[in-house]
Every structure is written in structure tokens, then in C-alpha cells.
Amino acid sequence: MIQVEGISKTFLVAKRPPGLKHAVKSLFHREYTKVEALQDISFHIPKGEIVGYIGPNGAGKSTTIKVMSGILVPDRGSCTIMGHTPWKDRVAYVKNIGVVFGQRSQLWWDVPVIDSFELLRDIYRIPQGEYSSMLTLLTDTLDLGSLLHMPVRQLSLGQRMRCEIAASLLHSPDILFLDEPTIGLDAVSKIAVRNFIKTINREKGVTVILTTHDMNDIEALANRILLIGKGTLLYDGSVQGLRGRFSTKRTITADYRENTVPLQLPGASILSWTPDRAVISVDTEQLMMAEVLTQLSSQVELLDVAIDTQPIEDIIVQMYKEYQL
Ligand SMILES: Nc1ncnc2c1ncn2[C@@H]1O[C@H](COP(=O)(O)OP(=O)(O)OP(=O)(O)O)[C@@H](O)[C@H]1O
């Protein structure tokens, strides 16, 4: 469905030191620095996937989304999405995609939300029957009933985001680009947005490309991660694959019937110990989990065991360090 091959994009940014003298000088002579936002990025995305596009600030995520949505033209490379080149076949292409930039609005600020929706209906030439049924579906699933007649400027961030997502889906696109859709939302709104994304992916088969700094979004939604750093694609694979590659540490919390003899677990590190609870760190590359549990149960009468993996957030920090991002 999406084929990106060798995309590169360089921005020229005008350099201007502070001060009046330099301001006048820059009227006649400008110096530029090159920012290589994307360097030879390639990936393919099949229909129905939810892909998390992650990377530190300034890595090139939004630039990629802008190229894929046809807003920016790359310097090199090709991008074919559902048979279209996004920046060439703009009018035909945009019928297939919905785009939400979390930090910008596609809704008209001073008019009620429903007026923006009706304008979008006319822009996309959505037949009235289709528009009405989609509006009903979106109003129900995103709980927009009380918001439709409010001017956008009076909405809270979470309310506006739900309306933005609805606006991007009114024309039933096959692909949804979401650039930081949960930025600034409270826990309840984040979960509502995540659930909605899962629902439209599962029930309507919408392919979703999501950029986010919230690793809970990634864990909750993405089947696949693309990691970008300094304009280069560094990882393309599953969340589990990422764990396997970067995190072999597990923490075991064991509760047992009172036992005053200290535990002996060669190869594992005992992080804390009391007569009825031990917290143990195991590197699964060095020692098999089954081996630790066997050793444990031969020394104490286990009541409960919890095994925690390293939080995805920590793994990402580790990756950023490894790649010096
Ligand atoms: N219009 C532009 N003109 C000049 N430089 C730009 C422009 N847009 C992006 N850049 C630069 O390109 C690089 C990539 O920016 P981009 O917005 O794609 O990053 P990002 O990964 O989305 O970052 P963030 O997580 O902070 O949103 C940055 O160095 C940025 O300063």
C-alpha cells in the first residue's frame, strides 16, 4: 500500500547573526546552512498495519509525514501510495488519506465544529448519505454529541483532538497519518483516542501511521516500529523484536512463606530481600528464567511471583544512547 524508496530532503536555513548591521547585510547577501532532514529513507507498509514512527526531536518524523501526505516534495527518491505519487496527484490522492497534526488544527477556529465538517463534506464531495452515516458513527464512537455545535476555540485540547480525528475520517480514507495525536491529552482522553484508533483499524481496515513521543501509544497500538534518528532509518521491526534486541533484563518479585535463610541464586542479582519477599534481577542472556524459578522454589515455598520486563520507555532511551541520538 505504501512504498517509500530512498527519500531524501534537505532544507536550506538562512543564517543571520543578531544585530541591525547583520539584518541590513542579509538584505544583500544571505548565507545558508543545510539541514539534512531525511537521508535515503526506505520502507514498505502493507494494508491494515498500525506503524509507530518514532525518534527524538528533529529526527525527521514530521518531514516524512509531510512527504507522504503530499505537502512536501523530496529532493530524491520515490513514494508511491495506493498507486499515487502524493505530491503529484494531489487532488486524486487526498481522497485516500486523512491527516491529523496534533499541534495544528484543520478546523475553522471561530465556527461550530459541524460547520467545519460540512465544509469538508463539500471539499471532498462526500455524498450526503455517506456523510450522514459516517458522522453518526464518528459522533457515537468519539462521543462528539455535545461538541458539534460549539465553536472550536471553546473546546478543550482533548475535545478538539477528538473533533480533529473525526474531521480527518469523514471521507472514509484508507490511510490515516497521525502526527502526535495524544500530545497534551489527559490519561482518559489518551485512552479514548487509542481505543478509537484500534477500532477503526480493526473494523474499517484503516492503515495508520502514527508519530509519537508517548511510548504507551506505541505499546498500545503499533504492530511495527520505524525508528528514525538524524534523518536516517535505524530500526524497522516489531516491539517484541526491539525488546529482544535491546532488553534482556527481567525483574522477578517473589513472595514466599516466611524464611530466614538468605537465598542463593548464582548468576542472578538479588536487588532486595526480606524473610517473605525478594526482588531479583535476571539477565536472560546469561541465565534462563526457568532455572531461576526452579532454584527459588527449591529454597522457599512460593506464594506469588511477578515478572516485569524493562519498560519500553527505558529501552528507547537505551537505543537513543546506543545510536548517539
Ligand atoms: N520548513 C523547514 N525549514 C527548515 N528546516 C526544517 C523545516 N522543517 C523541518 N526542518 C528541520 O528538519 C529536521 C527534521 O524536522 P522534523 O520536524 O521532521 O522532526 P521531527 O522528528 O518531527 O521532530 P519533533 O519530534 O520535534 O516534532 C529538523 O532539524 C528541523 O529543524
pLDDT tens, position by position, 92-139: 898 899 999 877 888 998 999 999 999 999 999 999 999 999 999 899
pLDDT band at 28 (very low <50, low <70, confident <90, very high): confident
Residues 76 and 133 occupy one common structural domain: yes
* Length of the chain as a residue count: 325
33 lines ligand 1 (CB under 6 A): no
Residues 179 and 130 occupy one common structural domain: yes
Distance 11 CA to ligand 1 centre (A): 9
Domain residues for 92?
A: 47-243
In a domain, 189, yes or no: yes
In a domain, 159, yes or no: yes
Domain boundary among 215, 243, 271: 243
In a domain, 202, yes or no: yes
CATH code, 149: 3.40.50.300
86 lines ligand 1 (CB under 6 A): no
Residues 103 and 74 occupy one common structural domain: yes
If one residue of 63, 178, 211 were mutated to test the ligand 1 pocket, choosing by the most ligand atoms within 8 A of its CB, it would be 63
Residues 52 and 115 occupy one common structural domain: yes
Residues 166 and 218 occupy one common structural domain: yes
Residues 266 and 227 occupy one common structural domain: no
9 class by beta-carbon count within 10 Å (0-12 exposed, 13-18 middle, 19+ buried): buried
ipTM of the complex model: 0.96
Instruction: Give the Cα separation of 185 and 158 in Å (integer).
Output: 6
CATH code, 285: 3.30.70.250
Residues 221 and 255 occupy one common structural domain: no
Residues 93 and 161 occupy one common structural domain: yes
Q: Given a cut of 80, is residue 191 above it in pLDDT?
A: yes
Residues 164 and 92 occupy one common structural domain: yes
Task: Assess contact for 50 and 201: CB atoms under 8 A.
Answer: yes
Pick the atom of ligand 1 nearest to 59's CA.
21
Pick the atom of ligand 1 nearest to 63's CA.
18
Model pTM? Answer: 0.81
Residues 83 and 110 occupy one common structural domain: yes
If one residue of 9, 11, 217 were mutated to test the ligand 1 pocket, choosing by the most ligand atoms within 8 A of its CB, it would be 11
Output the pLDDT for position 25: 79
35 lines ligand 1 (CB under 6 A): yes
Residues 238 and 257 occupy one common structural domain: no
Say which residue the cell 506464594 belongs to. Answer: 303
Task: Assess contact for 47 and 82: CB atoms under 8 A.
Answer: no
